[in-house]
Amino acid sequence: MFKKIGLITFLLVIGLSLLTGCQGQKREVNPASAGRAPESQVNQAAGKAGSGEVVLTVKGSGVEHETKYNLDELKSMTDALAGECYSTVNNWPAKKFFVGKGVLVSQLLRKAGIKDEARTITVTAADGYNATLTREQLDEKRYCFPNLQKGSAEGAREVPAILAWEHQEGASDLSKAVGGNLRLLFGQKGMNDVVTAAYVKDVATIEVSTAPPGRWDVVGAEPAPGKVKRGTGVVLSHPGLDRVKIYYTLDGSTPDIKSLVYNPSATYFQPDLIKPIPVDKPVTIKAIVIGYGKHDSQVATFKYDVE
């Protein structure tokens, strides 16, 4: 389907051989170096393009001016186009890949005049579904892990956040991307980073706010720290358990997104995967909450001894 249009002809000329999926190098889709395709061909690639219908609005207190785009206008941003493969983990949890071709979110924000004091970015679908990221979460380095399903970080490479007008779930070959409504895609910070819930479909607005995002509440534990019977299971808790991930360590080190995950699945998918931590010997459990839209929680420390 996508191979029939002029835009792909240009991509073939400038290096379609690089677009081979997650095992390849970073792949920028930038036809500027070969000249723009005729407008009629760009319209054909856009699907809905040509109607002038606004498909995206960038607004909020964190930008200098509200900006609206139709799909033709997004397609014409030749200095901001990209095509990538993304590794993902969802709340089942299942590991898979996505591919997408679209426009860099960073460039959309720049063109809207993002302010220094901008703090959060909320991406909202036409039906109201949304995901919020702190500015740091959007700006920090994020990666595709081509060996994610093998549990290896080997070959990881940095990938950008994009709004994709062509995308495909479960594919690692960029040529499999097909036309659709705008979808947010971005990389993982670590291999345990659950990103799929934030891959908003049918994106309609990006709202940038200067309001402070706040910090996630700290983790709770039951039973309370102290002496317990051998084999006691420690249950970690959080009021937003299905919106965040709890990462923990048992060796006294500070947990981060590369640490063990306490709640790999949401409670409404596979609650049996959320298991108490057994105490068979003296142990110090350190736990942190990481989730999109707020800063990480403070680290909670729970020390247990065996009676």
The structure tokens listed for 75 are 């397609």
Contacts of 271 (CB under 8 A, 6+ apart): 265
CB environment 105-144: b (16+ within 10 A), e (fewer): bebbbebbebeeebbbbbbbbeeeebbbbbbebbeeebbb
What per-residue confidence (pLDDT) applies to 23?
57
Cβ 131 vs Cβ 291: under 8 Å:
no
Cα gap 219→241, rounded to integer Å = 10
Domain 2-209 part of CATH 3.40.50:
no
Q: How many alpha carbons lie under 13 Å from residue 195 in its C-beta half-sphere?
A: 26
What per-residue confidence (pLDDT) applies to 52?
85
Q: What is the mean pLDDT of each run of 10 residues along the chain (307 residues)?
A: 38 36 46 32 38 92 98 97 97 96 98 98 98 97 97 97 98 97 97 95 98 98 97 98 97 95 96 97 98 98 97
What per-residue confidence (pLDDT) applies to 22?
66
What per-residue confidence (pLDDT) applies to 41?
34
What per-residue confidence (pLDDT) applies to 1?
39
Q: How far apart are the first and last CA of the chain?
A: 67
What per-residue confidence (pLDDT) applies to 7?
40
What per-residue confidence (pLDDT) applies to 194?
95
The structure tokens listed for 297 are 């929680």
pTM score: 0.84
Interstrand relation of 220-222 and 232-237 (parallel, antiparallel or unpaired): antiparallel
Q: How many alpha carbons lie under 13 Å from residue 269 in its C-beta half-sphere?
A: 13
Closest CA to 259 of 247, 241, 251, 276: 247
For tokens 């299905």, the residue is 242
Q: In angstroms, how far apart are the furthest CA atoms of the chain?
A: 77
What per-residue confidence (pLDDT) applies to 77?
97
Cβ 130 vs Cβ 200: under 8 Å:
yes
What sign has the CA pseudo-torsion 98, 101, 105, 106?
positive
The CATH number of 220-306, from 3.50.50, 3.90.1690, 2.60.40, 2.120.10, is 2.60.40
What per-residue confidence (pLDDT) applies to 21?
44
How far is residue 49 from each of residues 74, 179, 203, measured CA to CA in Å? 10, 11, 15
Domain borders along the chain are 2-209, 220-306
Interstrand relation of 162-169 and 95-104 (parallel, antiparallel or unpaired): antiparallel
Angle at 136 between CA 132 and CA 139, to 5 degrees: 100
